[in-house]
């Protein structure tokens, strides 16, 4: 079944005083911001199954806010518009219900979860999201171990508490492992490339390409065109001050590299 991801006329407000907002390290706490500050204005976006759309834009343009509202973060409210995955409306659903429909968000700054190991998290997410009651834990772990090894992540990382003392690269690899086992229909990658060395970047790109081949749609948020050498976007969008100001082919990313966002 085709699972297109469709965003229509989406406007987003953030409630900076929300308790939940402060649990995300990436959400900048702007004391001057008032309740209900609008950060995204009338965004339209259709990503078909197996397509990659890059979303680029300067710092503070609203990229992460868009990602977070799509996943259902409580501090970010959709004040107008619609979001559908495979024809199902997502906006009225909780984040876990969205995940069950096949949505996955990789955070810019994933949080640590003391008490739960990476392996446990991958297994329990796999079971709850896919509803695969017949999965065998040992077989599953064997596959995950192979994938971890392939990614250059030490096996013992699976026993460690999720993101607790993980290096930046290890956090990203942990997310990629999760992605591989969940095989989501649509994935939002928020700056998955930031802080990665070139080998890890290539691994990340490999994982994304593998998923795309199987039909996953991707929204690749980045302000760096390097990853676009390895993951070829069908479309590049530029977000500025909460609005998509331009969409085009991959040469738009090169144009940004040359002229900067000010020239777009």
Give ∠ CA 194-189-178 in degrees, rounded to 5: 100
Number of residues that bind Mg ion (CB under 5 A): 2
- Crossing angle of helices 168-182 and 118-130, in 10° steps, is 30
Residues that bind ligand ADP (CB under 6 A): 14, 16, 21, 27-30, 33, 39, 57, 59-65, 75
Residue 106 binds which one of Mg ion, ligand ADP, none, with CB within 5 to 8 A depending on kind? none
User: In the complex, what is the shortest distance from the CB of residue 128 to ligand ADP, in angstroms, rounded to a whole number?
Assistant: 27
Q: How far apart are CA 43 and CA 12, in angstroms?
A: 9
- Letters for 55-74 (x = contact with Mg ion by CB under 5 A, - = none) are --------xx----------
CB of 148 to ligand ADP, least distance (A): 29
**Nearest partner of 51 among 215, 193, 183, judged by Cα:** 215
d(CA 167, CA 14): 29
Burial of residue 94, with CB atoms counted within 10 A of its CB: 0-12 exposed, 13-18 middle, 19 or more buried? exposed
* Separation of alpha carbons 68 and 131, rounded Å: 24
Which of 88/223 has CB closer to Mg ion? 223
Can you tell me the distance from the alpha carbon of 138 to that of 143, in angstroms, rounded to the nearest whole number?
A: 9
- Nearer to ligand ADP by Cβ, of 14 and 162: the residue is 14
Contact partner at residue 59 from ligand ADP, Mg ion, none, CB < 5 to 8 Å by partner kind = ligand ADP
Nearer to ligand ADP by Cβ, of 66 and 178: the residue is 66
Q: Which does 168 bind (CB under 5 to 8 A by kind): Mg ion, ligand ADP, none?
A: none
CA-based nearest residue to 102, from 194, 213, 183: 183
Cα–Cα distance measured from residue 231 to residue 182, given in angstroms and rounded to the nearest whole number: 20
The one of Mg ion, ligand ADP, none whose footprint includes residue 148, by CB under 5 to 8 A per kind, is none
The nearest distance, CB 166 to ligand ADP, in angstroms, is 22
Of the two residues 118 and 236, which places its CB atom closer to ligand ADP in the complex?
A: 236
Q: 207: which residues sit within 8 A by CB, 6+ positions away?
A: 151, 176, 179, 180
Which among ligand ADP, Mg ion, none contacts residue 29 (Cβ within 5 to 8 A by kind)?
Answer: ligand ADP
Choose among ligand ADP, Mg ion, none what residue 61 binds, the Cβ cut-off being 5 to 8 Å by kind: ligand ADP
Q: Quick one: what does residue 260 bind among Mg ion, ligand ADP, none, with the CB cut-off 5 to 8 Å set by partner type?
A: none
Supply φ then ψ for residue 154, to 5 degrees: -65, 145
Compose the 97-136 pattern: x for residues touching Mg ion by CB under 5 A, - for all others.
Answer: ----------------------------------------
User: Which residues contact Mg ion by CB under 5 A?
Assistant: 63-64
């Amino acid at each position: 079944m085709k699972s297109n991801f469709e965003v229509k006329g989406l406007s987003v407000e953030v409630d900076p005083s929300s308790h939940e907002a402060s649990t995300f390290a990436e959400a900048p706490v702007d004391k001057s911001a008032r309740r209900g500050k609008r950060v995204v204005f009338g965004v339209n976006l259709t990503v078909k199954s197996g397509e990659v759309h890059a979303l680029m834009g300067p710092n503070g343009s609203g990229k992460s806010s868009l990602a977070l509202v799509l996943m259902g973060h409580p501090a970010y409210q959709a004040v107008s518009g619609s979001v559908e995955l495979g024809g199902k409306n997502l906006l009225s659903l909780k984040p876990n219900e969205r995940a069950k429909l096949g949505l996955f968000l990789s955070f810019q700054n994933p949080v640590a979860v003391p008490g739960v190991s990476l392996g446990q998290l991958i297994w329990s997410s796999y079971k709850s999201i896919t509803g695969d009651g017949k999965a065998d834990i040992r077989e599953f772990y064997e596959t995950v171990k192979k994938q971890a090894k392939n990614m250059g992540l030490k096996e013992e990382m699976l026993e460690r508490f999720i993101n607790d003392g993980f290096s930046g690269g290890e956090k990203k690899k942990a997310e990629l492992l999760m992605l591989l086992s969940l095989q989501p229909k649509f994935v939002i990658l928020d700056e998955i490339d930031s802080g990665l060395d070139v080998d890890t970047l290539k691994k990340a790109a490999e994982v994304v390409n593998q998923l795309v081949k199987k039909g996953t749609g991707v929204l690749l948020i980045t302000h760096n065109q390097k990853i676009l050498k390895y993951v070829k976007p069908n479309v590049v969008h530029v977000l500025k001050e909460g609005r998509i100001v331009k969409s085009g082919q991959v040469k738009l990313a090169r144009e940004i590299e040359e002229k900067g966002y000010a020239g777009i």
